[in-house]
Every structure is written in C-alpha cells, then in structure tokens.
Structure 1
Amino acid sequence: MRNRSRWHHLAQCVLPLTVAVAQTLGSRGAEYGQVSVERLGRVPLDWRGYALLLVGPLALAVRRRFPIGALLATLAATWVYLLLDFAYGPVFISPAVVLFSAIVSGHRLAAWLAGGATFLFFVAYATWLIPEPQGWFHHTAVAAFLLLTLTVAEFYRARRGRLIERERVAAEESRRQASEERLSMAQELHDVLAHNISLIHVQASTALHLIDDHPEQARTALATIKQASKDVLTEMRGVLSVLRDDAPRSPTAGMDRLDELVERSGLRVNVTIDGDVRAVPPGVNRAGYRIVQESLTNITRHAPGSRVALRISYGRRELAVLVEDDGAGAAKAVPGLGGGNGIPGMRERAAALGGSLSAGPRAEGGFRVSATLPLPAPSDEEPK
C-alpha cells in the first residue's frame, strides 16, 4: 500500500511536467506544417503562445487542491490560444487531462458543463472564426472526443469507487475477524485458567488437609498441582502464541486429549465412547473438549467427590457430549472459587457451531450437561 501511494504521488508530480514538454515541443513542431499553409490562417508561436501552453500544465499541478479553478483556467487558456490563431495540436492535451481529473475527483457536474461549453465554443469557432468554416463532420468528431474523454473518466471513477469499497469491506471484515479472534482467545484463556486454577485450588486444599495425617496422599495432590500448573502454562503459551507471527504453535486441546483431562481432574469419571471415533472439524474438536473441561471444572467446584459419567457419541451428523454427576460426593463444595461464565460460555460455543447445549439439575440428583455439535457426514468427508 505504501509503495503504491509513493508511485501515485510520483505520477502526480511527473504528469504536469510531461504535459508541459509535450505541448510546447509538440506545438512548435506542429506549426511548421500549418503556418506555411495560408488557408489555415495559423501564426507562429510567440511569448503569448508559450505562456498559454504552460497554463494548462501549471493548472494540472494544483488541480487536486483547486479542481474547479484548474478546469476553468485550462479551458480558458485553450480557447484564447485558438482565438489568437496559434497552431493546432498538443494544446488539447491539457483540457482532456483536466476534464478527466475533474470527473475522477467527484466534480462531475462541473466537468460535464465544461465539456458542453467547450463543444459549443468549438462549433462557433470552427463555423465563424476561421478562414475555412467546418461542417458537421468536424463538430461530430469534437463531440465524440469530448464524450469519449468524459465517459472513460466516468468508467474509471466507478471502477475506482468499487475497488475502494471492496478494500473498505475487506478491511472491515479483517477487523471483524480480528475481533472474533480476540473474543475466541479470551474464551480459550477463560476455559484454560478456570479449569486448571480450580483444579489447583481443590488439590491444594486437599494437600493441606492431608499433609499431617496422610502425607502420601498429600504428595499425590501436590504432584497433581505441579502437573496442572505446567499444563496451564503450556496451554496459555499455545493460545497467546497467535499474537506472534513466528511463535511455535502448540497442539490445540481436542477430543484426543480427553484421557489426560479426566486424569488431571481428580474426579471419578466413567468414560463411554459410542460410535466410530473419527477426526472431526477443528472447531467441533476444540468445542467438545472445552465443554467437557468446563463441566468437570464445575463439578470440581460445586460437587467434589461425586461420581461422573462422561459419554461421547459419534453420530453420522452430530457429536453428542453428555456429562452427568450423581451429586453424592462426600466432600463439600470448595468455597472461594466464584461463579464465572461457564455455562453461558459453553452455550455460546455450541451455538456458534450451529449446535445446542442444555444444562441443569437431574431429577435423581446431581447435574447434567448435554451438548450436540453438528458434524459432516462421513461420506461428505471422502474425496470425490
């Protein structure tokens, strides 16, 4: 983008100089073939002619700041040049460029009115003010030239407008995606921290309770704390690494790591897998893992010691996740862990993928979390 802007600025500076050279040298060459022909009535260039030839390029140099002024000055200089009977030729470059520029810069009405006035001037000039009056063929050629210039300018302006709008939409989409990525990252961090910090809290409480009477059991709790703290640091690095382009990426937590998750939770979990286990889309893979993680975190917070049933069902069109606890844990809920945004966050994850999630108490006691996440059918994943 910066290089394109630099080249555009350079072109804006070079254009007036190029037009000045083309008009002065070109008109000087054109007069050799016209002054000698008496019926054309052309006269050699003098200081007035050169000055008028330079008005257009000077106006082009300031056309971005004074577009209407540049347009009027260029056309007026061209008309005076012709009325003084100087040679035809490159003098028409400046009017064409300034009309084109006026259209592109958004001064369309002024450009079309100026083009119409220029056409009327040429008709009057070629009919009554030159030795050999011209007919409708000449007038039609002038009209065609002006219409071509203005039409091409309109087409270029419309195309540039579409490109600018496309870039604006792309930039807006990029900002929206960045915002969604930040929200997704925040949710990932919430899930990682909530689960592991809750686990550390519970195991630390257990270790403190057992350290005097059952030091071996306290050692196990401390080992769990060590592993949980290591895991939370690893997952945090994996999530935050997306902020750095060259950062190594850690494997994203997914359904293949449920065994590790269950083992670290410290809960008595009975895992059942139904259906044919297969690779699932990354979004579903991550969401399923996080739903199980958040469910186990909630059980750790509010019903430690309960028996947990975890069922993962791989259907043809959906992945079903069911987490139930019996609420019969002998231990009391650990205080000081707060409420959080766990269940709404799980619902948002499921809804974002087109699935659903329900959570609530069981009639027979305990709590149930049930989620369904859509999957492509196995046949859809096979190459055709």
Structure 2
Amino acid sequence: MSRAFDAVLAAALTGLSLAVAGQLGHVQPAADPVDAVGYVLTAIACLVLVVRRRFPAATLAVSAVAVSSYLIAGYPYGPVLIAVAIATYTVVLRYPVRRAVLISGAAMLVLLGHLLFSESLLPGLLPGSAWIVVPFAVGTAVKLNRQAAAAEAQRAADDERLRVAQEVHDVVGHGLAAITMQADIALHLLPTKPSQAEAALTAISATSREALDELRATLEILRDRAPLAGLARLDVLTARIAASGTPVRTVVTGEARPLPRAVDLVAYRVVQESLTNVLRHAGPATATVRVGYGADAVEIEVTDTGPGGPFTEGHGIAGMRERVTSVGGRFSVDGSGGFRVVAVLPA
C-alpha cells in the first residue's frame, strides 16, 4: 500500500511540475525558459520519490542534486521544490535525529548551492533553506507524536500485564491459602478423628474446584477487560474462609447499592486478600469484615484477633494499595492489636 501511494505521489508531483514548468516564465521573467534539460531534471527530482521509504538518504540526495542543478541552470522556481521537502520529511521519520540532521544539512548546502551563481545570495538564503527546515520541523513533530503514542501503548500493555498478574495472584493465592489451612486440619485429625479429616478433605476438593473455576473465569473475563467479582459475592467468600477454620463475621452499615464496576472489584479484592492474609499469618483467630456505605464513599475494614505486631509490606499489601489508589481511594494498614486493613473507595 505504501509503495503504491509513493508511486501515485511521485507521478502526481511529476505531472504537476512538468505541466506548470512552461508557464512559470510569465511570473518569473528573469528566469530562463524550461527546456528539455529542465524537464528531465524535474522528472528525476520527482520520480525518485518512488523509493523514498526504502532509500530515504539516497532519495533526498538525488532530489536535492537534481533541483540544485535545475536552479543553477537558471530555470524558475516551481513545484519541483516540493520533492525536496517530501524527501527531507521522510529522512526525519526514518533516521535517528543526529543522522537526520547531518543528511538534511548536507542536502540544504546542495540545494542552496545555486545561490552562489546568483546576485541575490543573502535574500535567497531564507526562502531556499525553508524547503529543508520546515519539513524537518514537521517531520520531527510527527515523529515525536508517534513515539509518544508508542510509549503510551507500551505503558498500557504493561498496566494490563500487571492487572492480569494481580488478578491471578488474588485468585490463586486465596485458594491455596484456604487449601493449605484445610490440609493442615486434615493431617492433624486423620490419626484420631478420620471422619472430621474426611470433611476437611472434602472442603479441600470443593475449594480447589472453586479456585480453578474462578481462575478460568478470571482469565476469560480479562480478555474482555471486565471486572469479575464484587461485593455481591462477599457471602460466598467469607463462607469459604470460615470453612477453612477461621470464623468470619460480616457487618454491613448504610444502604447497600451497586458500585462502579472497577470500585466493586477493588472492594472485593481487598476483602479477599485481607482474609487470605488472616489465614496465612494470624494463626488461630477470628476475622470481621465491615462494609460501610456512605453518601459518596464505601469503607472496607477487615480486622482479625491475631497477635499483630510489626510487619513488612509484601506483594499482597502492595497490590491492595495499588488497586485502591488506582480508583482514587485511600488505603491504610495497622498491625497493633491484631491486624487492620482499611480502604475508603469513591462510590
């Protein structure tokens, strides 16, 4: 497609330049009439644009030499100068800045060479150099815009990878924590109370199936970039934790209502990750989940009765903080007297 466009561009510019070349003498009486040599130089300068994308530097060199020779011969200014401008623009897009400056600077010297044979050396410098400087500036602006767009696309791709990693971490981490707790219970009860151990193993089977189903659903939903879970599934989540051996109490205040989908997902993940941390680190403890619906915010608070104490923010807490701040919320944790996680989300 690009080759076809360049061929049409070169043909159109050649036709335009050749068509008006003979008429330019009327507006530039001091110039020599365009003869066969002038027509050949015009055709060369324009037709070389066919290969401008494959050989940008060579295209600019040929075009600049042909146009300079055309002007040195005394022929009038005309559309043929557009060929040099297009070739310069292509060089800027195709090469690094330093190389583009060197190539374009050399082309400018060649193009302005005809002024050495003219009585208007100084007056002709500005309009002559404009055929290089202006397309160089335009090409640089276009190139910078393209680079900015590419950088933004890369940032978006990186953000998406982080989002996928966080979703998978939340789903798999929660499921494995629950399974580990239930497996420990089963191993402890197996020698003395096999019937209760069987119940724990049954819970492991159910939890693993749920985790796999949720992982599959998460990956499927991520393809559509839509949130998977929300506070509507809070009861299922707390029941799963309770079945793992950690009692969970849920307290909802205010008038429950649908939240923005992104906020709803963040709220669910904060509760999920917090309860997973209770399973992993709190030991024998109970947990309380409070959801408070306010006029313009929803507050999520998860506390436990574990030992608390100093802590280091791992991937789980860092992930929760990133999720909350990404939707414009506030996040805090406190390890004194048990562990407390608070997230205030715009509702």
TM-score by length of 2: 0.72
Say if 1:49 and 1:290 are closer, same or farther in 2 by CA, change over 3 A: closer
SS at match of 1:370: strand
Task: After TM superposition, give the deviation of residue 108 of structure 1 in Å.
Answer: 5.8
How many Å separate the matches in 2 of 1:99 and 1:316? 61
Aligned to 1:221: 200
Asked if 1:71 is matched to 2:64, the reply is: yes
Say if 1:113 and 1:359 are closer, same or farther in 2 by CA, change over 3 A: same
How many Å separate the matches in 1 of 2:234 and 2:221? 23
Contact preservation (8 Å) 1:253, 1:289: yes
Residues 61-86 of structure 1: CA deviation (Å, up to 9, x unaligned):
5663332443123321454375xxxx
Asked if 1:357 is matched to 2:344, the reply is: no
Aligned to 2:228: 252
Asked if 1:346 is matched to 2:325, the reply is: no
Aligned pair partner of 1:200 in 165, 171, 179: 179
Say if 1:190 and 1:310 are closer, same or farther in 2 by CA, change over 3 A: same
Matches for 1:1-384 after TM superposition, within 5 Å = 6-7=1-2, 9-18=3-12, 51-52=40-41, 54-57=43-46, 60=49, 64-66=56-58, 67-80=60-73, 82=75, 92-99=78-85, 101-102=87-88, 105=91, 147=127, 158-211=137-190, 213-241=192-220, 244=223, 252-265=228-241, 266=243, 267-327=246-306, 341-352=315-326, 353-362=328-337, 367-376=338-347
Residues 316-366 of structure 1: CA deviation (Å, up to 9, x unaligned):
3433223233349xxxxxxxxxx964334334433444412113131xxxx
Amino acid at match of 1:65: A
Residues 299-330 of structure 1: CA deviation (Å, up to 9, x unaligned):
323445433322222223433223233349xx
Task: After TM superposition, give the deviation of residue 260 of structure 1 in Å.
Answer: 0.5
- Greater CA deviation, 210-219 or 106-115? 106-115
Task: After TM superposition, give the deviation of residue 261 of structure 1 in Å.
Answer: 0.8
SS at match of 1:361: coil
Amino acid at match of 1:102: T
Contact preservation (8 Å) 2:182, 2:201: yes
* RMSD, matched Cα: 4.2
Flag the structure with larger Rg.
1
Count the aligned residue pairs: 320
SS at match of 1:65: helix
Amino acid at match of 1:372: A
Say if 1:351 and 1:156 are closer, same or farther in 2 by CA, change over 3 A: same
How many Å separate the matches in 2 of 1:258 and 1:15? 63
How many Å separate the matches in 1 of 2:226 and 2:199? 27
Percent identical residues? 31
SS at match of 1:324: strand
Say if 1:347 and 1:16 are closer, same or farther in 2 by CA, change over 3 A: closer
Say if 1:53 and 1:315 are closer, same or farther in 2 by CA, change over 3 A: closer
Aligned to 1:379: none
Unaligned runs of 5+ in 1: 1-5, 83-87, 125-139, 329-338, 377-384
Contact preservation (8 Å) 1:312, 1:322: yes
Residues 154-196 of structure 1: CA deviation (Å, up to 9, x unaligned):
6665445434323322221121122122122222222222221
Task: After TM superposition, give the deviation of residue 44 of structure 1 in Å.
Answer: 10
Task: After TM superposition, give the deviation of residue 115 of structure 1 in Å.
Answer: 6.4
Residues 198-223 of structure 1: CA deviation (Å, up to 9, x unaligned):
21122123234334654543343233
How many Å separate the matches in 2 of 1:238 and 1:284? 19
Amino acid at match of 2:57: R
Amino acid at match of 2:336: P
